[in-house]
Amino acid sequence: MRFLLINLFFLASSLVLVAQKPATTSKSAVISAKPAPVKGHSIPITLTPLKNCTVYLGSYFGKGMTLVDSAKLNGQSQGRFAGSKKLTGGIYFVVSPNYAIQFELLMDDQQQFSIVADTANKENARIIGSPDNDLFKQYAVFTNERGRFKAQLEDSYKSAATYADSNNLRNSILKIDSELDAYRSNVAAKYPNSLLTLLFNVMKRPSQPAMPIVKGKVDSLYPFHYVKSHYWDDVLFNDNRLLRTPFFESKLDDYFKYYVSPEPDSIISDVKYMLLSARSGNEIYPYLLTKFTNKYMNPEFMGQDKVFVYLFENFYAKGDTNLLNPASRKTITERAYSLMANQLGLPAPVLDLTDTTGKKQSLYGIKAPFTVVAFWDPNCGHCKDEIPQLDSLYKAKWKAKGVAIYSVNIYENEVPAWKKFIAEKQLSKEWVHAYQTKEAKQQEEKAGVPNYRQLYDIFKTPTLYLLDSNKRIIAKQLSLEQFDKLMEAKQQN
């Protein structure tokens, strides 16, 4: 199966992250009213003992990392990251000439601070003139200190001799977690406009409340619905800074994995809300649109390609293809048109093809409770295995249930090999064995109408569809076993 990826951004190669352990600072963090904005960024850096070399400024970008600027260090280890445009706020890092991350910092709104550090003592890097970084460093000092204490308690907990000891240690560990939560809450309350508060808002996950008792019955779904409804509290999807953190995309993935039904309409509801909310974000909007496009163009579960068709019809087809390069635009458009006609629940596209005797055979002329349409190639390795398996299943179970098979050879120039395969494998004569003649194909091309390969999205073989008695599409791209179970379930209903 092919997998199509649309790339809107150049992402640098992954870098190995070196954890930062900032030291305390003598300056107190003060986040107050924003000063007058300054154009561009100008960040002097002194990074000893490096001299006469190039260092880099990088940032997180979704699940990856990217380099955004460089600075040439002189003989005194001094340089400057500078540019006429502001950088998107978020978590950044300084990268050495050999592409190793040295330490992290916050990119604030002003972007006029300075950096003084030593590669041999990177945990004590100083960010001067940035209240956001002062606040960040204070938080790092607190979390490092509490984190070390928590690790000690956890080690002791593993070797606790008595239940009382275990219980006391557990309570001490929970107390530290509460202290960390309280610290974050205090920062958010005192400095609501700080970059650190934004990071906290992205990181936090709602805690599940207790299950309430309603009219004498426990409401077991309440915790789930509560968490889902509060999952994105205090997060604005049009904030480009979300991408410059390592937390946002993993939180987004978890949301769709655990709190959104796999049903296409449920996914569409959340995707629509996020994209419309993000539309004014010139970085995050195309990123999210691309992410959802890649995910649902070739989805994990049957029927979720409906989400991709929705994206095409409601975003790309309404002007957002200008976000794409010509190759990506062509790929998305062609893929969308290949999926529009074969969505679950739609009538199957018409098939009037020629059988092995030269007679026309219409798909809609078949009367059966279920019809399996199988597109295959006599020279395809998978087809050589799966088509005989389909025939065996048909003879063993489906024939007695009145299931019909409309079998299509997709290559008009392989007719001799196709007929030979049918004869050698003794495929059921009750099947419709059909193909499109060269003349019929040429007439379609001359008329400019879509061919069945596009209408049925045949980009691999074999491709199978299951239709109901009215020839509406029930399922596609499933295994034979899954088709069998689905038919059994349908017959029981």
Q: Is residue 24 scored above 60 in pLDDT?
A: no
Q: Is residue 186 scored above 90 in pLDDT?
A: yes
What's the Cα-to-Cα distance from 57 to each of 77, 90, 93, 121, rounded to whole Å?
Answer: 15, 12, 6, 18
Model confidence over 343-379: pLDDT tens digits?
999 999 999 999 999 999 999 999 999 999 999 999 9
- pLDDT the model gives residue 320: 75
- pLDDT the model gives residue 431: 98
pTM: 0.84
Domain ranges in the chain?
Answer: 213-340, 352-492
Model confidence over 461-475: pLDDT tens digits?
999 999 999 999 999
Handedness of CA 374, 379, 380, 381 (dihedral sign): positive
Fold of 352-492: Glutaredoxin (3.40.30)
* Dihedral in degrees, nearest 10, Cα atoms 201, 207, 212, 217: 120
**pLDDT confidence tier of residue 325, bands split at 50, 70 and 90:** confident
Average pLDDT of span 207-224? 90
Read out DSSP for 334-373? HHHHHHHTT-TTSBPPP-EEEETTS-EEEGGG---S-EEE
**pLDDT confidence tier of residue 491, bands split at 50, 70 and 90:** confident
- pLDDT the model gives residue 14: 32
- pLDDT the model gives residue 36: 53
**CB count, 10 Å around CB of 333?**
15
* Dihedral in degrees, nearest 10, Cα atoms 330, 335, 340, 343: -170
Model confidence over 437-489: pLDDT tens digits?
999 999 999 999 999 999 999 999 999 999 999 999 999 999 999 999 999 99
